Amino acid sequence: MPRKKIRKIKRKAKKKLEVKNTSNRVLRTNFYKSKAQKTNEIKIKKIAKQATEKKIYNIKDYVVYPKHGVGKIISIEKAKIGSIDINFYKVFVEKEKLTLSIPINQQLHLRHVSSINQVNKAISILKTKPKIKRTMWSRRAQEYEQKINSGKLYELAEVVKDLNKKTDVIAEQSYSERQLFEKAYERLKSEFEVVLGEKAKIKMDKALNRLGEPEKIEITK
C-alpha cells in the first residue's frame, strides 16, 4: 500500500480518536457537574402537621383571660349549637363580677396564673426606673392599653411601673393616665394575690416605692 494512503488513513484514525476523547471529556464533565449539583441541593422534607396543644384546666383553677384578667373556673359545661356539641369553661372574674363562657376548642387566649418565679421577676420590673417615650400621649396610651390587654404579666408590670403615681412627671396625671394606671395596677394585683395572698399589695407598693421619694424618669426616644 502506498505510503501516502497509509498516512491518510492514520490521520483519519487520529482525528476520530480526538473526537472520541473530546466527547468522553464532555460527558465526564457533565456527569461530575450533575453529581455536584445533587450534592449541593437542599432537600426539604415535609413535616407532618402536629396537633394543636390543648391546655387542660379543671374546676376551681385560676386562669388569666387577656381582656378581663384573673378569673376562676366555676364549671365545665356542654351546649348544643345547631347539630354541634360544644364544651366550654365558665370563668368567673371577681373584679368585674363577670362570668365568661369560653369554648374549650377556642381556649388559645387562656393561660395559667403565673408561677412564683414569674411573679418575682415582675416585682423586679416594678423596681426599675420608669421610661417615658417622647411621643404624644394618645400614642403612648394606645400602647399601654395594648399591653394591659395582652395578658402578659411582664408587659402589665411595665405599664404599672411607667405610670406609677409617685414619679415626678405622673404627679400631674391626667384623668386618662390615672384610669390606665389603676386598671393596670388592679389587673396585676389580682394575679399577685392568687400567688402571694395578702402580701401582694404590700410587695407591689414596696417595689413601686409609693411611700418613698419620687424617682427620676429616664426619657427615651
- How do residues 45-72 score in pLDDT, each as one tens digit? 444 443 444 678 999 999 999 889 999 9
**Cβ neighbour number for residue 205 with a 10 Å cutoff:** 17
Q: Is 76 helix (H, G, I), strand (E, B) or coil?
A: strand
pLDDT of 74 higher than 80: yes
* Domain-terminating residue out of 83, 112, 141: 112
Tell me, yes or no, whether 134 lies in a domain.
Answer: yes
Residues 103 and 131 in one domain: no
Residues 137 and 212 in one domain: yes
Domain boundary among 73, 96, 112: 112
At 142, is the pLDDT very low, low, confident or very high (cuts 50, 70, 90)? Answer: very high
Residues 195 and 208 grouped into a single domain: yes
- State the total domains in the chain: 2
Are 191 and 151 within 8 A, CB to CB? Answer: no
Is residue 101 over pLDDT 50? yes
User: Which residue range forms the structural domain that includes residue 98?
Assistant: 62-112
141, part of any domain: yes
Give which of 151, 146, 147, 148 is closest to 111, Cα–Cα.
151
The pLDDT value given to residue 114 = 94
Q: Rg of the chain's alpha carbons, rounded to an integer?
A: 36
Between residues 110 and 41, the one the model is more confident about:
110
- Whether 12 maps to a domain, the answer reads no
Highest mean predicted confidence (pLDDT) among 39-53, 96-110, 145-159: 145-159
Say if pTM beats, i.e. exceeds, 0.75.
Answer: no
Let me know if residue 17 belongs to a domain: no
